[in-house]
Structure 1
Amino acid sequence: MESVVTPLWTRRSSRCDNDHCVTVSRRNQGVDVFDSILPRTVLSFSDSSWRAFLLDLETRTARTARTGRRA
């Protein structure tokens, strides 16, 4: 039997198209990402992996803004 861990906080994407949304839940040791279409499918990330993803996203977004090209 799986134990249920209550997230510290949960954030649903603010831009949803026909209820196709992404939800991110913060846990003690990382982050879980859910898709509203397949809510039982969870991508789990450690803190360090999540931070690396966000830093890479920030870098790519900044590069795209400067050049006007896709990252």
Structure 2
Amino acid sequence: MEIPPIWRRKSSSCLDDHCVEVAFHGDRVDVTSSGVPAPRLTFTPTSWHRFVSGVRTGGLRPGD
């Protein structure tokens, strides 16, 4: 039996009660919007860490 994920959100990611939510569970990381909970983006933990690092360092830009 799979344990249900625990969704987390950061208040700075919210706009009009629509927040980016992230759940870490097992071998995947799911990302969704609280306003529209489907579809979800799914990452491996390694890919998620690379994505977050790219966002933090400004290495990701639209169109890249």
1:49 matched to which residue of 2? 47
Unaligned runs of 5+ in 1: 62-71
Aligned residues: 58
Q: Going by fraction, where is helix more abundant, 1 or 2?
A: 1
TM-score (norm 1): 0.66
Unaligned runs of 5+ in 2: 60-64
User: Post-superposition shift, 1:40?
Assistant: 2.2
TM-score (norm 2): 0.71
CA gap 1:43/1:11 in 2 versus in 1, 3 angstroms: same
Q: List 4+ stretches of structure 1 deviating above 3 A.
A: none
Identity of aligned residues (%): 36
Pick the structure with greater CA Rg. 1
Q: Going by fraction, where is strand more abundant, 1 or 2?
A: 2
1:6 matched to which residue of 2? 4
SS of equivalent residue, structure 1 residue 37: coil
